[in-house]
Amino acid sequence: DAGITQSPRHKVTETGTPVTLRCHQTENHRYMYWYRQDPGHGLRLIHYSYGVKDTDKGEVSDGYSVSRSKTEDFLLTLESATSSQTSVYFCAISQGVGETQYFGPGTRLLVL
Amino acid sequence: ELKVEQNPLFLSMQEGKNYTIYCNYSTTSDRLYWYRQDPGKSLESLFVLLSNGAVKQEGRLMASLDTKARLSTLHITAAVHDLSATYFCAVDSTYSGGGADGLTFGKGTHLIIQP
């Protein structure tokens, strides 16, 4: 397995609270991504990063922000969680554009 | 907007049979990926198809890509129970003019192989 960890692996929170999910890689890959997976939707891209402090929006970025201060860490923040953000969140990494993306173990988030 | 459609979305089959999963996409791209996901687990990369006519095989699975038809197929030969999983195809948005360096996924094919 590619060296990708996500924390926490499970989280329950209440509507309106801030939540931060962490993705950590030991592969020194340049690109990192955050996806969410929901039944009937497959996976959808939230944000991605193409280098330290270089990030951009994906398909479903509303309500999410990201930061990447180090190559190995990519943080996803829900500023004020809503029930519609209940999902499984996957981080992925790749060496470059068009290269295979490798996925982390996922974080299950429940917003009550 | 890039759209990726898989069919069928659900497939129940018997061991020993052959079947094909189809993946259509809406805009030009020459990079297509197949992933496998077991229940409650992460996604595992199966194949990367990088050009028109590309064919990759691993065990009982074979994937192909026809960029002109915007179609990829995942063929299962003589299915065994261990291949039960959800299979996703994904298209690289960068190569389809989507502008984002990410993948657009199909909704997945939930495959059950019964003894």
Give the domains, in start order, of chain A with CATH numbers.
Answer: 4-111 (2.60.40.10)
Q: What is the pLDDT of residue A64?
A: 97
Task: Name the residue of chain B whose CA is nearest to A103's CA.
Answer: B43
Chain B residues with CB-CB distance to A48 below 8 A: 100-102
- For position A41, what pLDDT does the model report? 84
First to last CA, chain A: 33
Share of chain A above pLDDT 70, in %: 98
Reduced to 3 states (helix: H, G, I; strand: E, B; else coil), residue B84 is coil
115 residues of chain B, pLDDT tens digit each: 789 999 999 999 999 999 999 999 998 777 899 999 999 999 999 999 988 889 999 999 999 999 899 999 999 999 999 999 999 999 986 655 555 568 899 999 999 999 8
CB of B39 less than 8 A from some CB of A: no
Q: Please give the Cα distance from A57 to A94 (Å, whole number).
A: 17
pLDDT score of A1 more than 70:
no
Q: Once rounded to an integer, what is the mean pLDDT over residues A85-97?
A: 94
Would you call B36 an interface residue with chain A, using a CB distance cutoff of 8 Å? no
| The pLDDT value given to residue B31 | 86
pLDDT of residue A2: 63
DSSP line for chain A: --SEEEE-SEEEE-TT--EEEEEEESS--SEEEEEEEETTTEEEEEEEEEETTEEEE-TT-TTEEEEEEETTEEEEEESS--GGG-EEEEEEEESSTTSPPEE---EEEEE-
Residue A41 contacts B, CB cutoff 8 Å: yes
Which CATH number does B4-114 carry?
2.60.40.10
Structure confidence at residue B94 (pLDDT): 66
pLDDT at B97 (0 to 100)? 52
Task: Over range A61-74, report the average pLDDT.
Answer: 96
Domain extents for chain B?
4-114
- Residue B53 has a pLDDT of 86
Average pLDDT of A81-98?
94
Asked whether residue A106 carries a pLDDT value surpassing 70, the answer given is yes
- What is the predicted pLDDT for the residue at B95? 56
Distance from CA of B108 to the nearest CA of A (A): 6
